[in-house]
Amino acid sequence: MPDSGPLLIVGTGLAGYNLAREFRKLDSQRELIMVTADDGRSYSKPLLSTGFAKGKQADELAMQDAATMAGQLDARILTHSQVREIDPQARKLLMHEGELSYGDLVLACGAHARPLPLSGDMHERVLSINDLNDYAQFRHTLEGRKRVAIIGAGLIGSEFANDLALGGLEVQVIAPDDQLMPGLIPAQVAGPVQAALEELGVRFHLGRSVAAVHQAGDALSLELDDGSRLEADQVLSAIGLLANTALASDAGLLCGRGIQVDRFLRTSDPHIYALGDCAEVTGMQLMYVMPLMAGARALAKTLSGQPTEVSYPVMPVMVKTPACPLVVSPPVTTSEGLWTVEGEGQDIRALFHDAKGTLHGYALTGAVVSEKLQLNRQLPAWLG
Ligand SMILES: Cc1cc2nc3c(=O)[nH]c(=O)nc-3n(C[C@H](O)[C@H](O)[C@H](O)COP(=O)(O)OP(=O)(O)OC[C@H]3O[C@@H](n4cnc5c(N)ncnc54)[C@H](O)[C@@H]3O)c2cc1C
């Protein structure tokens, strides 16, 4: 049962703010405090990888500032406040500015860019985009320049390649695998996406990694593992995210790839919960918007006195590569099975079946993207 002390949420990303909204629909009385290391502006993170083509500055992507959000949510929001430690026994958070007591604590503290082991005198010029400030900094350093090298060809790297190319930039992508989005889609599906991006002018260096970044006059020189070099004005690293687990693990909470929680989103401490990119829900790490929204709805009920397990329906991901539309429902319900692929040109249908012939996932490109609703009906719920 929820405790009567304040509800404290660490993080004002989509997880923190969605939970606060859902909670206020059910409980208008309990004291709500939110703490964030950033400026607390509310924004939709998926728009960061479609903003260049639309010519959007970071400020134009921000929807509300922290003060407006505090008013709407009847909450106290502490911005630019980095939580340094959790004391679960005393039920306190420790920050530079002092400490805060809680009745229940929700960690919605997100993830950080996976560090890239690079040598060279300019490796600190390699940026990642995982929040509004990163986006603003990247745009700022690119002003008046045109050439971008993206390291990584996963979902986010591919989306940025499409968006930056549409925004008029010269884009090169370097990645160690020999296809785009390995681990998410089969090579026959990645092929048309790569071809469409090449049509836009993106140049790929697949099967290669970047060893070092050096200064080359006003520009940067990237040294690849085969000794070849390429030049760029700015380097964007998109090699994946790691859940922010340090606060939780230092406090003795169980962590794996994320902060481990059960279907009530409860950690190994009965008064601490986790939601969003930082959480690993019954072993599943799903760093997408729909799972955190389902989690926010369930957790809001639990925190207002109706213990509710989270359920995940099928939640396909629309990859934002408009050069070649792509929708993927990854086979999260089993890893045992095989892809079968059919179609030609841009219109590819890949289906993932287990040994009994049950459909567990799909990837669709081009015109066949429209089949997703019909396929969704055949898939088992991700967490029933
Ligand atoms: C470029 C990009 C495009 C994406 N596109 C899509 C998409 O199209 N569809 C989709 O489903 N998903 C997409 N995603 C993923 C999705 O946006 C994320 O899963 C989601 O936004 C994560 O929200 P979050 O609140 O968990 O984390 P975050 O947004 O990272 O928020 C974390 C919060 O915690 C705070 N914080 C962290 N540590 C501390 C601390 N110690 N003390 C105080 N505060 C702290 C931060 O300041 C921040 O407020 C995309 C991600 C990226 C990067």
Q: What digits encode the pLDDT tens for the residues 164-187?
A: 999 999 999 999 999 999 999 999
Please report, for the domain that includes residue 355, its CATH number. 3.30.390.120
Question: Which structure tokens are listed for 111?
Answer: 């993830």
* 207 and 69 belong to one structural domain: no
Ligand 1 center from residue 235 Cα (angstroms): 21
Is the pTM higher than 0.95? The answer reads yes
Between CA 238 and CA 218 the distance in angstroms is 23
* 147 and 199 belong to one structural domain: yes
The per-residue pLDDT for range 101-152, each reduced to its tens digit, is 999 999 999 999 999 888 877 777 899 999 999 999 999 999 999 999 999 9
Q: Name the pairing type of β-strands 272-274 and 279-281.
A: unpaired
124 found inside a domain: yes
Tell me if 163 CB under 6 Å of ligand 1: no
383 found inside a domain: no
Tell me if 15 CB under 6 Å of ligand 1: yes
Tell me if 8 CB under 6 Å of ligand 1: no
381 found inside a domain: no
Domain holding 254, by residue range, is: 7-112+242-303
Nearest to 328, CA basis, from 318, 338, 337: 318
* 122 and 219 belong to one structural domain: yes
The per-residue pLDDT for range 50-101, each reduced to its tens digit, is 999 999 999 999 999 999 999 999 999 999 999 999 999 999 999 998 999 9
| Nearest residue (CA) to ligand 1, atom 26 | 276
2 found inside a domain: no
Q: Are 155 and 48 in contact, with CB atoms under 8 Å apart?
A: no
The per-residue pLDDT for range 151-166, each reduced to its tens digit, is 999 999 999 999 999 9
Closest atom of ligand 1 to CA, residue 289: 11
Ligand 1 center from residue 215 Cα (angstroms): 32
- What is the DSSP track for 160-206? HHHHHHHTT-EEEEEESSSSSSTTTS-HHHHHHHHHHHHHTT-EEEE
| Nearest residue (CA) to ligand 1, atom 51 | 46
- Sorted by sequence, the CB contacts under 8 Å of residue 162 that are 6+ apart come out as 197, 200, 202, 320, 321, 322, 323
Ligand 1 center from residue 279 Cα (angstroms): 11
Nearest to 233, CA basis, from 151, 170, 174: 170
Tell me if 128 CB under 6 Å of ligand 1: no
Q: Are 319 and 46 in contact, with CB atoms under 8 Å apart?
A: no
- Please say which residue of 206, 237, 268 terminates a domain: 237
- What single-letter amino acid sits at 217? G
Structural domains in the chain (count): 3
